[in-house]
Amino acid sequence: MKRINHYLLLLPAILLSSCNAQKEKNTVSLKDSYKNDFYIGTALDANQIEEKNAKEDSLIKKEFNAITAENIMKSMFVHPAKDKYDFALSDKFVAYGEKNKMFIHGHTLIWHSQLAPWMTEIKDSTEMKAFMKDHITTIVSKYKGRIDSWDVVNEALNDDGTLRKSVFLNTLGEQYLVDAFKLAAAADPKTDLYYNDYNNEEPAKREGNINLIKKIKAGGGKIDGVGIQAHWRLESPSIEMIEESILAYSALGLKVAFTELDITVLPNPWDLKGADVNQNFEGSAKMNPYPEKLPDSVQVKLAERYASIFKLFLKHQDKISRVTFWGVHDGQSWLNDWPIKGRTNYPLLFDKDLKPKKAYQSVMTLKETKK
């Protein structure tokens, strides 16, 4: 009896301590685990910016300390007509980041995709120069001191490292690259300015990217960082190739950010690499092998792939400013519709029900074992 009483007396303390342990477990998050290494970001769609889903919203606030707008700051949305800007959603996006004390990244100023139709019709250099000046100056000054970094130019390179024949190159020649960075720096001298691309960890494109950065600097442009989009696959690119890229870009004095990280687990049509949003392919059952559930074996592969990538990121955390996932959870990923519409992909750390996947645990475990 005496012994039972003794335990009864201790019971509240035992319950409290297990409750605290539980609480601790619940408060462990990506952003806290990696807080001394780099920002952990996510891309937000319009509903998330507007906090439409309370469960998603609390997950975003718990796990991430950096945000990028997945679409709403692209020129077709923010600058739909020559004399018309629409900042309704980007105002909300910036306010969301400020309210939650997050690092706010602007995506993107000069990009050949998702342009408003009127922009694609610009044929002449005078008109294009005027567009660039107005577009960059208006947007960057509007958020001066509030947006921490910008993708000034997105995807100016071909995979072989040559310059993409975009509407900008065609009308202005390569000087447009230097001018874009100069205009952004003039509008907000303190924000960090990035060049962002996909496949720029591959040797040929990396070479082209290095030349491009040197050209921007030689022309008097201010450039602070390079964004590697990181739309990757289970088997490629190799960790060595990613490491060589981190070293090569940071040797130029730039910050390296991984800006749109996701890993497709689905077959790739014609071995397609990269993230050209204009490419689309026909669907078939063979190309959509896991419509209901991801098999455990692939779940494990994805977890191992994420672990080796984050292990490398930790090794070079002094050179890496931010790692941003392209979406919060699998259900919203653009990879469900690109490059084939209507597939079920599993590229992120949270599943469509917002549950952490094995890949989440593997990324977290890297930090636990380091302690």
SS (H, E, C) 278-323: CCCECCCHHHCCCCCCCCHHHHHHHHHHHHHHHHHHHHCCCCEEEE
Give the nearer residue to ligand XIL in terms of CB position, either 206 or 358. 206
CB of 366 to ligand XIL, least distance (A): 26
CB of 14 to ligand XIL, least distance (A): 48
First CA to last CA distance, the chain: 43
Identify whether 51 is a catalytic site residue: no
Would you put residue 124 in left (φ > 0), alpha (ψ -120 to 50) or beta?
A: beta
Give the nearer residue to ligand XIL in terms of CB position, either 242 or 275. 275
CB of 113 to ligand XIL, least distance (A): 7
Query: Phi/psi at 322 (nearest 5 deg)?
Result: -160, 145
CB-based contacts of 326, cutoff 8 Å, min separation 6 = 43, 70, 229, 231, 260, 261, 262, 333, 334, 347, 348
Give the nearer residue to ligand XIL in terms of CB position, either 44 or 307. 44
Write down the catalytic residue from 260, 292, 304, 368.
260
CB of 227 to ligand XIL, least distance (A): 9
CA 275 – CA 140 distance, rounded (Å): 26
Token pair in block for residue 208: 């082209």
User: Which spans of this chain sit near ligand XIL (rule: CB under 6 A)?
Assistant: 70-71, 154, 229, 260, 275, 277, 334
CA 140 – CA 189 distance, rounded (Å): 10
Give the nearer residue to ligand XIL in terms of CB position, either 71 or 137. 71
Write down the catalytic residue from 155, 202, 235, 243.
155
CA 263 – CA 277 distance, rounded (Å): 16
Identify whether 155 is a catalytic site residue: yes
Give the nearer residue to ligand XIL in terms of CB position, either 109 or 294. 109
Select the residue whose beta carbon is closest to ligand XIL and give its number: 334
CB of 269 to ligand XIL, least distance (A): 16
List residues with catalytic annotation. Answer: 155, 260
